[in-house]
A and B are shown apart, each in its own frame.
Chain A
Amino acid sequence: MKICVCVKQVPDSWAEKKLNAGDSTLDRASADRVVNELDEYAVEEALRIVEAGEGEVTILSMGPDEAADSVRKAISMGAHAGIHISDPALHGSDALATSLVLAKAIEGRGFDLIIFGSESTDARMSVVPAMVAARLGLPQMTFANKVEISGSNLTIHRVTDYGYDEVESSLPAVVSVVEKTNEPRYPSFKNIMAAKKAPMETLTLADIGLDASTVGLANAWSQVNDFAERAAKAKGTIITDDGHGAEKIEEFLVTQKFI
C-alpha cells in the first residue's frame, strides 16, 4: 500500500492571522508556522493503515521554502518520505492552481490512496481534496470520520448533517478525514531522528511539468479587490453579578426582543 498524505503549512490556529497589505495574500510571517491541525489526522490515518498491513507513507506539500519544515514535521510522526513543491511562481496560487500542482505531483507515482485533512485552518475552503480527485479522475471519498480498507475496496463514513453516509469505492482513491477521526500521535524521538534522514524530493514547477503561466497570483481564477480588518466592537455593558445578574440578562434579552 502506497499512501500519499497532503499537508499544508499554515499559521498557528491559536494566533491572529493577517493578509499582506501589498498583494492580499496570506501573511505567513505574522504567526508561527505549523502543520495544519486537520492534516495530522490524515497522517495518523495513513500510518494506521500501513501499520495494519504494509506499505509506505509519503508526505506531499506545496508551499514556500519554509514549508519543508512542515513536511519533516509530518514525516516525524512516522512517515517514510517527503515531496516538497516549491517555486516562486506559486506565490498567491488559488485552490484551482493548488489542486493542479498537487495532482501533477501525485500522478504516475502509483499511490493507492491519497489522504487529506478535510480543510486548512487558514483558508477553510474544503475544496482541494475534491478538486484533486476530479483532476486525477479518482473516486472522491471525502469528509470521512471512519476509513476501512479491505483488499482493493474502500469504505468510509462520510459525515453529513444528519449523521453519516456509508460510501464505497475501489482503490486508488482520494480521501479526506475530519477532525477527531483518530488521535494523532506525537512524534517519537526515534522518528524525529529518522525524519531528518528520510528521503525528501524538492521539486519546482518545471520538474512536475507545469508552466508558471498556469499558477500564481497573476493567473488566479479569482482576485481580492480589497480587504479590511473588522472594526473592534463597541464596548458592551459589563456588570458584576450581585445576585441580580440573571435578571439583568433577562432585561437585556427583552429590550433586544429575543424573549
Chain B
Amino acid sequence: MTEVLVLIDHTEGAIKKVSLELLAMAAGIGEPSAVFIGPGADNAIATLGEHGAKIVYVVDGQAMLDHVVIPKVEVLTKLVAEKSPAAVLIPSSADGKEIAGRLAIAVDSGVITDAVAVSADVVATQNVFGGATIVHSKVSKGTPIITVRTNSIAPVQSGGTATRVDIAAEISASASATKVVNRVSVAKSGRPDLSEAAIVVSGGRGVGSDEGFTKIIEPLADALGAAVGASRAATDAGWYPHQFQVGQTGKTVSPQLYLASGISGAIQHRAGMQTSKTVVVVNKDGDAPIFDLADFGVIGDLHSVVPELTALVTARK
C-alpha cells in the first residue's frame, strides 16, 4: 500500500486533534505515515500509532521551529522525493497552508487547501465561498498536497503501534533567512480554541456592548464548555477582540453546535459558519436571514433569553 504523509501539528509532543483526524483521513487513501517535526516526539509516537500511523518520521529539536515554515517544507520535500507518497495531508492552519504552498513549488505538484474530505482516489471536497458552493477537485500534476480543515473527520483509534524513523535535517541558508527571536503567548481564556471547538456561542450587533459579551455571551459559552465568537459588527464596534471574528474575513468555523445571538446573518457572517452542523438562533428580528440557517430559532430579546438559558444549562449540571 502506498504511503500517505501526514504532517503532525503539536506543541512539544502534545498532539492537536486535527492531526489525529488527518491520520484517519489518510487511512482512506493509503498507509498513514506521520511526520513529526520539533521537540517532544517521545510523548507522541504511541498516540500516533494508536491512531493509525504505521511509521513516524521524526526530526527532533527546537531548531526546526526557530525559522518560518521552511525547515518543515524541506523535510517534507525530502520525504516526497524518497517515498513517492500517494498524497501529503497537512492541517489547514496558517502555517500549514504556507508549508503546502511552498512544498507544491518544491516538488512541482498541485496544492488544494481547506479540504473537508478526501476520497480513496484523492479527490478533495471543499466548501468554497463560505460553504455556499461544494467543489470536488483533484491535483493533476505531481503528488497531491492537500490541507484539511479541522473537524472534517473523526479520529479513529485503531490500537496499532508505529515505528519511529529518525531523519537527519539541517537548517538551510534559505530557512535561516528568517529567525523567530521571541514567542509571545497572549492570555488564554481557558475556553476551547474557536476553530476547533465543538460548540461556539457567538454574539453580534444585538449584544449591544462589550459588557453584553462579558455578562451574557461568555457565561453561556462557559456553561456549555464552548468557544466565544463574534460577528464583524461586534468586533468593528470594539465590543470583542478581532481574533474571535467569525466570517468571510476572520475565522471559518464548523462546530457541532453554533449558537448565534443578536446576529442578523449577512453573507459576511454566514460565510464563516454556515457549515456548522446544528445552528440555534436568538434574534429579535424574525426576518433576519440568519433564521434561514437555524435548526431552532427563537424570535426574542437575547438580553432575557440568553441569561435564562445560561441559568437552565448551569442548573442541569
Contact = CB atoms under 8 A, between A and B. Distances in A.
Interface in B161-208: 174, 177-186, 188, 193, 199
A137 interface: yes
A223 B105 contact: no
Contacts, number: 258
A122 B257 CA distance: 26
A222 B138 contact: yes
A54 interface: no
A167 B178 contact: yes
Contacts of B297: 236-239
A240 interface: yes
Contact of A140 (B70, B111, B250, B292): B70
B98 A127 contact: yes
Interface string A229-259: 1101100111111000111111011001011
Given A222-B138, A232-B292, A121 B177 contact: no
A15 B68 contact: no
Contact of A239 (B142, B278, B299): B299
A24 interface: yes
Contacts of A13: 248-249, 267-268, 271
A89 to B, nearest CB: 18
Nearest to B129: A17
- Interface of B, secondary structure class, is mixed
B1 interface: no
Nearest to A247: B312
Given A142-B98, A221-B142, A223-B140, A228 B134 contact: yes
Given A127-B113, A170-B177, A249 B309 contact: yes
B179 A169 contact: yes
Contact of A15 (B139, B267, B313): B267
B296 A236 contact: yes
B137 A124 contact: no
B298 A248 contact: yes
Interface residues of B, number: 88
Interface residue tally of chain A, by bracket? Answer: 35 or more
B201 to A, nearest CB: 11
A136 to B, nearest CB: 11
Interface string A135-163: 10111111100000000000001111111
A13 B111 CA distance: 24
A129 B306 CA distance: 42
Contact of B113 (A24, A125, A238, A253): A125
Given A180-B242, A221-B111, A250 B313 contact: yes
B97 A143 contact: no
21 contacts: A13-B267, A17-B133, A121-B248, A125-B113, A126-B98, A127-B98, A128-B101, A129-B98, A134-B105, A140-B178, A163-B183, A166-B184, A169-B179, A220-B140, A221-B110, A230-B131, A238-B286, A241-B304, A245-B298, A250-B316, A252-B296
Given A96-B110, A250-B313, 11 more contacts: A118-B94, A126-B113, A140-B69, A142-B68, A159-B94, A164-B186, A225-B137, A230-B131, A238-B299, A249-B282, A252-B295
Interface of B: 68-70, 93-94, 97-98, 100-102, 104-106, 108-114, 123, 127-129, 131-142, 174, 177-186, 188, 193, 199, 224, 242, 248-250, 252, 256-257, 266-268, 271, 274, 278-280, 282, 286, 291-301, 304-306, 308-309, 311-313, 316
